[in-house]
Amino acid sequence: MNHEHGATGERFANAVDARLPVHDGAGQLLRKSFPDHWSFLLGEIALYSLIVLVLTGVWLTFFFKPEMQDVVYQGSYVPLLGQPVSGAFDSTLRISFDVRGGLLMRQAHHWAALVFVAAIGVHLLRIFFTGAFRRPREMNWAIGVTLFALALAEGFAGYSLPDDLLSGTGLRIAQGIMLSIPVAGTYLAMFVFGSEFPGHDIVPRLYSLHILLLPGALIALVTVHLILVFHLKHTHWRGPGHRNTNVVGKPLYPQFTASSLGLSLMVSGLLFVLAGVAQINPVWKYGPYRPDQVSTGSQPDWYVGFLEGSLRLVPPWETNFAGHTLMWNVLLPAVVLPALLFLVLYAYPFAEQRLTGEWRQEQHLCDRPRERPVRTGLGAAGITFYGVLLLAGGNDVAAQTFRISVNALTWIFRVLLIVAPVVAFFLTRTVCRALLHAEQEQLTEGEETGEVRQTLAGGYESGHRPVTSFRPGAPRRPLSPPDRPPGSRTGTPSPQHPEPERRSR
């Protein structure tokens, strides 16, 4: 009987394999190696947060009504009984208080959105500081930056759907940003909102973007991103047996699959634990949106906090030209600044490789940040610039908390926005060079044992032993910086490797 079942299974497998590339394709795929260092798991955290987002979002669509017509609230939240609210706000409260498990799903969805954007951002930083954006991965870097931009847009669209006082204030700011665009701003605002602010069309339109267009674009780009990761193979740290032509790590099945599955369960579990114990976006406390009201001390989600800070720091500059008013205090921080930010992110891989000459060959080995003092300094300066803007977005709350004048704090942030990134760049570059020097000295002389002995000449010297433990990517011999190509501006390039005749996947 068992022999018959085995023969039947073999015939079935042969029949499937004759029609689909199961054996050859899947076999090669299952043998693919993945690096097992923790830094390579950041992208997976973003992926699993996206899965939680999709699942909880699908559940929420069964109960949410994207309507802006006024209704009288008759739900379980007593303080708002009998109050006129929009249909979107009414359904949000119904999900939170009247649908079993609704508040848990709402908060899990919101927490997953925050972790998703954060994971993409940290993943991009890991790629930047290790040089994993170099040839042949420039397009995958561009896809990652696009995913980050789409995640910001998706988060803002979802954040605005409940039509509460806080999200309505954010939409009012968004309309002001649109109006600041010369000539086309008024037409763009009318097109988006469908009428004078707030209108009745913005929430249904954002709902379509939030559940259909933006998720579709995100899932499509994530799919392309993963296909390119498999096709181009992973980067990995330098070390024994680690070359520019191979990948050392766990095979996809079963080791990597098991660890990745465990990570997915941990991410999902943590998000739902946060949803159960950490309150987020309590719209019932803010109340329904009213155009004549503004929420005091309102703060957006962290990923758009830098825009809030930039709007608060720019002085009230305006210019009247040919009958048009140019609002520089809105146009520069909310339109020009983000456009320049993403332009720099898209262009950086190509600019660096041109300066270092690394565009001529493929790079599959990760740099350690200390090996690229200038690149690491630029990254630290960018993070500092972003951090100052993020802190400036809460200058009113900080001023009230620490009993400081808002005007004085605003000027402090303006100065820091210019000075702090420059200081961060030079400080980081100096630290990187000092670490390289200390590492070279340790590799040359060995680790100190703590023993002190007297020499024949009567002096004293400390005992040393050869270095036996190394961090990922650390050299196994004394560093000898290779010659820099002419025009190099990003630090010592990685050791040069011959171009492989055929990439091993």
Strand pairing category for 460-465 and 447-454: antiparallel
Q: What pLDDT does 481 receive?
A: 44
Give me 446's structure tokens.
């060995």
Sign of the Cα pseudo-torsion (214, 217, 219, 222, in order): negative
CA 38 to chain centre: 17
123-to-7, 133, 144, 247, 367 alpha-carbon distances in Å: 48, 12, 9, 20, 15
Contact 451, 426 (CB under 8 A): no
Residue 306 region by backbone torsions, left for phi larger than 0, else alpha for psi between -120 and 50, else beta: alpha
The predicted structure's pLDDT at residue 38: 84
> How far is residue 395's CA from residue 400's CA, in Å, rounded to a whole number?
9
pLDDT for res 486? 40
Within a 13 Å sphere around the CA of 417, how many CA atoms are in the beta-carbon half?
A: 21
Run of H or E residues at 152: helix 138-160
pLDDT in tens, 65-124: 999 999 999 999 999 999 999 999 999 999 999 999 999 999 999 999 999 999 999 999
SS3 465: strand
Which residue bears the tokens 């993945």?
34
**Long-range CB contacts (< 8 A, 24+ apart) of 415-419?**
416/388, 417/313, 417/385, 417/388, 417/389, 417/392
pLDDT at 146: 97
pTM: 0.85
The residue count for the chain:
505
Chain-centroid distance, C-alpha 385: 16
**Is 123 within 8 Å of 144 (Cβ atoms)?**
yes
CA dihedral of residues 442, 446, 448, 454 (deg, nearest 10): -120
The whole-number pLDDT of residue 143 equals 96
C-alpha–C-alpha distance, residues 110 and 131, integer Å: 32
Domains of the chain: 1-30 (no CATH), 37-345 (1.20.810.10), 367-451+485-498 (no CATH)
Helix (H, G, I), strand (E, B) or coil at 450: strand
| Tokens standing for residue 352 | 């660096």
Please give the Cα distance from 246 to 234 (Å, whole number).
Answer: 9
Closest C-alpha among 92, 157, 177 to residue 300 = 157
Q: How many CB atoms lie within 10 A of CB 75?
A: 16
For residues 169 and 160, what is the distance between their CA atoms, to the nearest angstrom? 9
Q: Chunk the chain into consecutive blocks of 10 residues (it has 505) and report each block's average pLDDT, rounded to whole numbers.
A: 59 65 60 78 94 97 94 94 95 96 96 96 96 93 96 94 92 92 90 88 94 96 92 81 73 83 95 96 91 74 89 90 84 94 96 91 90 96 96 90 92 96 98 90 74 76 70 59 44 47 40
> What is the spatial distance between Cα 132 and Cα 138, in angstroms, rounded to a whole number?
9
Per-residue pLDDT of 346-355, as tens digits, reads: 999 999 999 9
Q: Which contacts of 340-348 are long-range, i.e. CB under 8 A and separated by 24 or more positions? A: 342/145, 342/149, 345/124, 345/145, 346/142, 346/145, 348/128, 348/133
